[in-house]
Amino acid sequence: MAPALLLIPAALASFILAFGTGVEFVRFTSLRPLLGGAPEPGGPGEPAGPRMSSGTGDARQGWLAAVQDRSILVPLAWDLGLLLLFVGQHSLMATEIVKAWMSRYFGVLQRSLYVACTALALQLVMRYWEPVPRGPVLWEARAEPWATWVPLLCFVLHVISWLLIFSILLVFDYAELMGLKQVYYHVLGLGEPLALKSPRALRLFSHLRHPVCVELLMVLWVVPTLGTDRLLLALLLTLYLGLAHGLDQQDLRYLRAQLQRKLHLLSRPQEGAGPGLCPLT
């Protein structure tokens, strides 16, 4: 039993790392662009939209000038490398060959290790991301009243998106996604959690392991200023999320039924099967 009990701290450590990374990701994608942006060049009294630069001063450079400016291309190349590192790790470790190898050597901790490596890769992206403040912008709210109302509207939409993300995670088997359930079932001798799920749940999980696609796209794109580095982040993650999802109507009907079931359990907790929410079955 001692080796089995040692698995629990490892799974909990992976979960805590992933949870902390998720909180940091909210700050990185929402709070920093909405609340912590750098002062705009020229002040709030200037007309909306980017200005062309001759290479001096604080004006942002145009798109054609940007492709010849090493001060813009070098940090963009660095940011692209960070994103490709994250996408490569997240995709490579999700392949059946790598999962089989990890299961062979790490056993029930395979999912926890995958989650921990994903969190570490995302931490690298967030901590070493290079902003490009002098790069061109696709859009920018600088003139009043847009400079006041657009950030406020973006803030409200971000709050709604994150609330929807957290509510969607309630529908999914979050403990299984994070690797905790695998260790819990192993210690109790219950087997593999996915083996106990219904064919409809397994079908859904094979199509959608990132249950926050639309809401995350809202967070990525709905910002008052879409600069060069933010555009790179939004484009690459949008492409990656689009390629990673394949929901159909049968999956959506199953998700709706599961949501109604869990809302019913929440409204009548005294009749539930036990504490907490029931996972997808």
- Answer yes or no: is pLDDT of 72 > 60: yes
**Domain limits at 150?**
2-33+64-268
Nearest to 158 by CA among 215, 241, 230, 225: 215
Summarize pLDDT for 190-220 with one digit per residue, the tens.
766 655 565 655 555 555 555 567 788 999 9
What is the per-residue pLDDT for 79?
Answer: 97
Residue 57 belongs to a domain: no
Indicate the average pLDDT of the chain: 78
- Left, alpha or beta for 143 (phi > 0: left; psi -120 to 50: alpha)? beta
| Average pLDDT estimate for 230-239 | 94
Question: Are 14 and 115 in contact, with CB atoms under 8 Å apart?
Answer: yes
**Structural domains in the chain (count):** 1
50, part of any domain: no
